[in-house]
Chain A
Amino acid sequence: MSRLMSEEGIRIDGRRWNELRPVRIEVGVLKNADGSSYIEFGKNKIVVAVYGPKEVHPKHMALPDKSILRCRYHMLPFSVEERKNPAPSRREIEISKITREALEPALILEDYPRTVIDVFIEVLQSDGGSRCAGITAASVALADAGINMRDLVAACAAGKVGGRIVLDINDEEDKMGEADMPVAYLPNLKQVSLLQLDGKLTADEYRECLNLAINGCMKVYNMQREALMKKYFSTKDEEGGSVED
């Protein structure tokens, strides 16, 4: 047993193998944005803004049949131990790309031809799993912006730590563990829109890990729902049923 996993199966931060870190999601945190959200996922603190659909500049970049989705995942210089250069790193460029590809299947971009939708993900403080937390928050912000979506996107990682398949890898487990598998999932359509893996897994472990991550995505999905329901439907007479006119 390594120091990441105790004899009793307790992880370095006290969690069991199938437990998520504490998660808090807030909707509508930025006044200027068309949609926004804030997420705390373990020590991750991430704010997301969505602008759009809006006009494309320059105009010739616009697509005649659908909206363009643009994503930027960015870490603030003070979000990590050692100051990070504010210019986008190769890692951030790759994460921006896979984030866009994880969100795109959920969006009905054909409803907004000749426009652009911008998603800005700013990591204020980073922990393991910031890309998943970013995708989770971005999906909530897109719903808040009122963009037509086929489904929400919930993301969560699973991995292998101290020889065991565990849910939701934190920073230390990511650095010292054997494998990290971020997954994004469309819960109603039952489709995987992001899958990455760093580290070795046998074929059986791979399947176990994927299923556990999807399990985690479903838990995250329920928290996304709660946050959105709270913002849009929580009033004293919420359960009253019909709205008057």
Chain B
Amino acid sequence: MSVKKTTTIVEQLRRAQMNELLALNKRLDGRGLKDHRELRIDVGLIKKANGSALVSLGNTQVIAGIKVEVDEPFPDMPDKGLFICNAEVLPLASPYAEPGPPDEDAIELARVVDRGIRESEMISLDKLALISGKKVYAVFADVSVLNADGNLFDATSYAVVAALLTARVPKYEVQDDRLVKSEETIPLPINTVPVSVTMAKIGNSIIVDPTAEEEACMEARITIATDEQGRVCAIQKGGSGTFSVEELSEIATLAVSIGNNVRERIKNAVAPASTNNDNDNDNDNDINK
């Protein structure tokens, strides 16, 4: 059964300070209301994975790995590959995280990230069929949160997107209805780069990329994924508060413009890796620059 948990408890003094600053369009960490924290993306550091990415969004840190296998397609979609996204908050990620099966927050996290990627049609699943109705590529994206400091939705989404963009999968030849694995590797068929933007509502302010402390004070949260054409692909409202229609209209506009900015950062971060497959690029990808 679904129950709300309490985790971070923010001191009343700090909460008051936060509200005071928000009234002046400022935040505790000095950011503007619509700024993301510093974003760093390192790709390809896990050689055993088909693709991988370590993403830091301020103090939030997540690692995503892509594993590609050959599997049977769903009976109702014989010519479509599979994409499965999973997320977990590791016990080392925060003093409040516990080992065990994923709780409702982790399940929501995985499903919202999955939805953004699936609904934007980032990967052409119909190009992942190997033998119609029998064999298809199955793309598994697994994300682990290493350090939780708010906005796991965006960090996780960026990590999966970066890992997918840089993933290389074995090429198969079909010989007499059987698959033969070749030495060659190919990139995944990518259509678009979806970008997730998460905002929180505290009082009457809408802020982008909330920290854990800000999340503990927020009334409601919203995550919007947009594609390269500026279309909205997936939305999830969370938290026990509400939004007005005007707020929701403004939020969508923001999600597109902020998304465009972040998309460039992600593309820059993966560019060197996807050309030479080598990646010690510790580029500073501060998206607020």
* Interface residue ranges of A163-200 to B (CB < 8 Å): 181, 186, 189-200
Indicate whether A97 reaches chain B with its CB closer than 8 angstroms.
yes
In the complex, the answer to whether B235 meets A105 with C-beta atoms within 8 Å is no
Nearest Cβ in chain A — how far from B109, in angstroms?
10
Indicate whether B187 reaches chain A with its CB closer than 8 angstroms: no
Q: Which residue of B lies closest to A101 (CB)?
A: B240
Chain B residues near A97: list those with CB within 8 A.
Answer: 2, 104-105, 107-108, 238
- Which of A5-13, A126-134, A203-211 has 4 or more CB atoms under 8 Å from chain B? A203-211
Chain B min CB distance to A173 (Å): 16
Judge if B56 is at the interface, Cβ distance under 8 Å. no
A94 touches which of B107, B227, B249 (Cβ 8 Å): B107
Is A202's CB under 8 angstroms from B230's CB? yes
Asked if A93 is an interface residue, CB under 8 A from chain B, the answer is yes
Q: Which residue of chain A lies nearest to B227 when distances are taken between CB atoms in the complex?
A: A200
Q: Which of B224-278 contact A (CB under 8 A)?
A: 227, 229-245, 248-249, 252-253, 256
Is B237 in contact with A200, judged by CB distance below 8 angstroms? no
Q: Is the CB of A203 within 8 A of B256?
A: yes
Q: Find B231's partner among A186, A196, A200 (CB 8 Å cutoff).
A: A200
* A98 close to B (CB within 8 Å): yes
Contact present for A96 and B2 (CB under 8 Å): yes
CA distance A3 to B234 in the complex (A): 25
Closest to B222 in A: A195
Of A34-42, A68-76, A226-234, A235-243, the one contacting chain B is A68-76
A107 (CB) vs chain B CBs: closest residue: B240
A93 touches B104 (CB 8 A): yes
Residues of B contacting A: mostly: mixed
Known: A101-B237, A189-B242. A206 touches B232 (CB 8 A): yes
Give how many A-B residue pairs fall within 8 Å (CB-CB). 115
Question: Which residue in chain B gives the minimum CB-CB distance to A151?
Answer: B242
| Chain B residue contacts of A69, Cβ below 8 A | 4
Tally of contact residues, B, Cβ under 8 A: 38
In the complex, what distance in Å separates the CA atom of A196 from the CA atom of B224?
A: 9
Report yes or no: B233 in contact with A200, Cβ–Cβ below 8 A.
yes
B240's contact among A104, A189, A202, by CB below 8 Å, is which? Answer: A104
Contacts of B244 in A (CB 8 A): 190-192
B1 within 8 A of A: yes
The answer to whether A201 and B231 have CB atoms under 8 Å apart is yes
Answer whether A192 and B231 are a contact pair too, CB < 8 Å, given A93-B2, A94-B107, A97-B104: no
Given contact pairs A193-B242, A196-B237, A206-B252, a sample of 7 additional A-B residue pairs in the complex whose CB atoms are under 8 Å apart: A69-B4, A94-B107, A98-B236, A99-B2, A197-B232, A199-B119, A211-B245
| Contact sample, A vs B, 27 pairs, CB 8 Å cutoff | A71-B1, A90-B110, A94-B107, A97-B2, A100-B4, A101-B238, A101-B239, A105-B240, A186-B242, A191-B242, A192-B242, A194-B237, A195-B222, A195-B237, A197-B232, A197-B235, A198-B234, A199-B119, A199-B233, A200-B120, A202-B229, A203-B232, A203-B253, A203-B256, A206-B252, A207-B249, A211-B245
Residues of B bordering A, CB below 8 Å? 1-4, 104-105, 107-108, 110-111, 115, 119-121, 222, 227, 229-245, 248-249, 252-253, 256
